[in-house]
Amino acid sequence: MEDSRRERDGAEGGAGQADSAPWLCRFLGPAESMVAGVVVRLCGYSAILFVFAILFFVLREAAPMLFGGMDLVEFISSPDWRPSSEVRPQYGILALLVGTLSVTGLAMALAVPLGLGAAVYISEFCTGKVKETLKIVIELLAAIPSVVWGFISYMVLAPLIVDLTGAPVGVNLLNGGAVLALMSVPIIVSVGEDALKAVPDSYREAALSLGASRWEVVYRVLFPAAKNGLLAAVLLGVGRAIGETMAVLMATGHAVQIPRGLLDPICTLTATIAAELGETVYGGPHYRMLFVIGLVLFTITFFVNLIADIVVKGIRNGQRA
Amino acid sequence: MIANEPAASAAASISTRNLNLWYGDFQALRDVSLDIKPGIVTALVGPSGCGKTTLLRCFNRINERYGNVTTTGQITIFGKNIYDPDVSLTQLRKTVGMVFQRPNPLPISIYENVLFGIRSHTRRGEYSRRERDAMVESALRNVRLWDEVKDRLRKKATQLTLEQQQKLCIARLLPLKPRVMLMDEPCSALDAEGIERIELLLQELRKTYTILIVTHNMAQARRASDECAFMLLGRIVEHDKTLNVFLNPREKETEMYVTGRYG
Ligand SMILES: Nc1ncnc2c1ncn2[C@@H]1O[C@H](COP(=O)(O)OP(=O)(O)OP(=O)(O)O)[C@@H](O)[C@H]1O
Ligand SMILES: [Mg+2]
């Protein structure tokens, strides 16, 4: 049953292609439908165009600093980001990079167990109304705008953290990590649940009929069988967390420093760009350095996505074998 | 509970009394009272949709996976009511093994497939490496698969041919030392030669296990079973020695079915 469902989905996917849209042909003659085909194809290719256009634009703004003018060693190794210093502006990215990585790492440490746990629960341990309700709620969670998450971190989490830990400020690494975790959980849950759902039911029955408990089915059968899909879910969560801007800007306190603990305020790559671009002089070194940071972000997310992609391909090949 | 019914026969390995089963409001089993004897092969035949798979899946309680199943009546296996609250599903399924219609080896190595069940039932490290190897070898030899796969035990089981997969599915029950084997059309995915070899295997296994096999293939039921139960629309119509069912059926419906004028 599971198999046939997947085949059907595949067939629907195929029907989306330009040259096999029969409903189009009913209204259009052969010449028009050829035009329609070309239009649809162009829409498809435009995605590639946009990616390159964005890359080109960012690169163009960054280029004067990137290829001369900037101190690469300082950029990579200095924790000092003092772009508006009168005496000597410094453009060290280390603190920002550590900020991004630490808040993302913390977010994943919270979101992965929570997200995968929820995915397992929804896919394996609940049925009917509960399942439908949970799925809808998770989708709603994914639809909350990031500035609203920012509010929540500011108004709810921050006072809570101050109360519980006695920290001087509630906007810090912990707060940012928690908010990012909440924001990436929905994507981890929904992709993870899809991955678990794609495991044929016959595997579950095989394991159960050999006396495995439902929990054993999860970790001895489903996790190995769905590991690529689950890894892709995690990587998509990572991508979400790295790229997030507004909520982290509001949640992390925006202090350029290498955090020494969970309660230190931090600053991320994304938040820096968002907060500072407006105050820079167009074409000035500070302006251009923000674009260099943009390139760094672009590179990071590119690799995260690339890995996710390779992993997802691995799933498909695995299924064919 | 059921005062004027004969008590579950002590000699039977599986017996059901007044078993009814509903999927939602659809009744798939009606008042099934059946005794399956140990040490023989019992075939369960009947037209498509009559409830054979459903009945089989009651015996290891795997039916309960579906949320909408309601069961009434009694099933005892070796004298124990399997719906008693103190019955452990794990233990029940260790005693009552199941082979599915489509071979369903797990997507792990051949070796690990054979040991999958036993790993659920023992603590880590309870068996030494050598004991595990021996278990795998003996299980695979018992189903006549050892020679074909002994050089690739670490390969994924899903890469085997369907016949090999089905044999593996039988082999992986053996380390658990089950007493009953439920087989739901185990040959339906196989070619003629595969069917012959599986039937041969059944003949060897019958000495040790109570075997209940669902089949659509009348010739197979005749060849491979000692007793035969005929089902129709959720009821057991007739249950007798296979020869009697085929040559000398008591009920009109049975006769029509076994002579091929039905379903
Ligand atoms: N999960 C389910 N939910 C609802 N109805 C079901 C379910 N499984 C089976 N049924 C219905 O119960 C009846 C008996 O099904 P069952 O699979 O036991 O028949 P069968 O005798 O094994 O048939 P076949 O020979 O085709 O395998 C059928 O009418 C079927 O539609
Ligand atoms: Mg069936």
Nearest CB among A200, A203, A216 relative to B120 is that of: A216
pLDDT band at A2 (very low <50, low <70, confident <90, very high): very low
pLDDT digits (tens, 9 = 90+) for A178-188: 999 999 999 99
pLDDT at A320: 43
Tell me which chain B residue has its CA closest to the CA of residue A124.
Answer: B65
More confident residue, A311 or B36: B36
Q: State the complex-level ipTM.
A: 0.90
Class of domain A90-320: mainly alpha
pLDDT score, position B261:
65
Ligand 2 geometric centre to CA of B98 (Å):
13
Containing H/E element for B77? strand B69-77
Ligand 1 mean position, distance from CA B53 (Å) = 7
Q: Is the model more confident about A264 or about A30? A: A264
Q: Is the pLDDT of residue A297 over 80?
A: yes
Ligand sitting nearest the alpha carbon of B22: 1
- Per-residue pLDDT at A1 exceeds 60: no
- The string of pLDDT tens digits covering residues A260-280 is 999 999 999 999 999 999 999
Q: How many A from CA of B52 to the centre of ligand 2?
A: 6
Q: How far is A14 from chain B (nearest CA, A)?
A: 27
The reply to whether B1 falls in a domain is no
Q: Given the DSSP bridges, would you call strands B80-81 and B235-241 parallel, antiparallel or unpaired?
A: unpaired
Whole-angstrom distance, CA of residue B52 vs CA of residue B44: 7
Choosing from B19, B20, B23 the residue with most ligand 1 atoms within 8 A of its CB, the one to mutate for a pocket test is B23
Average pLDDT, chain B: 88
Helix (H) or strand (E) holding A293: helix A285-320
- Find the mean pLDDT for residues B81-99: 92
| More confident of the two residues B191 and A267 | A267
Q: Express each pLDDT in A131-176 by its tens digit.
A: 999 999 999 999 999 999 999 999 999 999 999 998 888 999 999 9
Looking up tokens 């009109």 gives B252
Give contacts of A210 with chain B, Cβ < 8 Å: 93, 97, 116-117, 120, 172-173, 176
Mutate to test the pocket of ligand 1, among B22, B45, B52 (most ligand atoms within 8 A of CB): B52
DSSP tag of B212:
E
For the stretch B248-256, contacts whose Cβ atoms lie closer than 8 Å and that sit 24 or more positions apart, written own/partner, are B254/B230
Higher per-residue confidence, A267 vs B189: A267
Per-residue pLDDT band for B143 (boundaries 50, 70, 90) equals confident
Residue B106 predicted with pLDDT over 60: yes
Cross-strand partners of B19: B32
Judge whether residue A312 has pLDDT over 80: no
Domain ranges of chain A: 2-68, 90-320
Residue B5: how many CB atoms within 10 A of its CB? Answer: 12
Instruction: Tell me how close the Cα of B94 comes to any Cα of chain A, in angstroms.
Output: 6
* DSSP-assigned letter for residue A321: -
Q: What is the mean pLDDT of chain A?
A: 87
Question: How distant is the Cα of B35 from the closest Cα of chain A, in angstroms?
Answer: 22
Q: A193 and A172 in contact (C-beta within 8 Å)?
A: no
Residue B108 pLDDT > 80, yes or no?
yes
Mutating to test ligand 1, I would choose from B50, B98, B183 the residue with most ligand atoms within 8 A of its C-beta, which is: B50
Per-residue pLDDT reduced to its tens digit, B144-178:
899 999 999 999 999 999 989 999 999 999 999 99
When scoring B116, B119, B185 by the number of chain A Cβ atoms within 10 A, the one with the most, hence best to mutate, is: B116
pLDDT higher than 60, residue A16: no
Task: Give the mutation candidate from B59, B102, B104, B155 for the A interface (greatest A CB count, under 10 A).
Answer: B104
Q: Which residues surround ligand 2, an ion (CB under 5 A)?
A: B 53
Q: What is the pLDDT of residue A20?
A: 52
At A27 the pLDDT is: 67
Inter-chain residue contact A221 with B62, CB threshold 8 Å: no
Identify the pLDDT of residue B111: 94
Residue A321 has pLDDT above 70, yes or no: no
Decide if pLDDT at B61 tops 70: yes
What pLDDT score does A23 carry?
A: 63
pLDDT of residue A317: 62
* β-bridge partners, B15: B35, B76
Cβ atoms of A232 and A191 within 8 Å: the answer is yes
Least confident of A270-274, B122-126, B252-256: B122-126
- Distance from Cα B114 to the centre of ligand 2, integer Å: 25
Listed residue (B202, B205, B239) closest to B44, CA to CA:
B239
CATH of the domain at B49: 3.40.50.300
Nearest CA in chain B to A223: B107
User: What is d(CA B219, CA A32) in angstroms, rounded to the nearest whole number?
Assistant: 60
Per-residue pLDDT of A213-256, as tens digits, reads 999 999 999 999 999 899 999 999 999 999 999 999 999 988 89
What domain count does chain B have? 1
What are the structure tokens assigned to A151, written together? Answer: 């509010």
3-class secondary-structure state, position B86: coil
Q: In what order do the strands lie in the sheet with B14-23?
A: B26-36, B14-23, B69-77, B80-81
Q: Specify the residue with its C-alpha closest to ligand 1, atom 8.
A: B54
The pLDDT value given to residue B6: 47
Residue B157, domain extent: 6-258
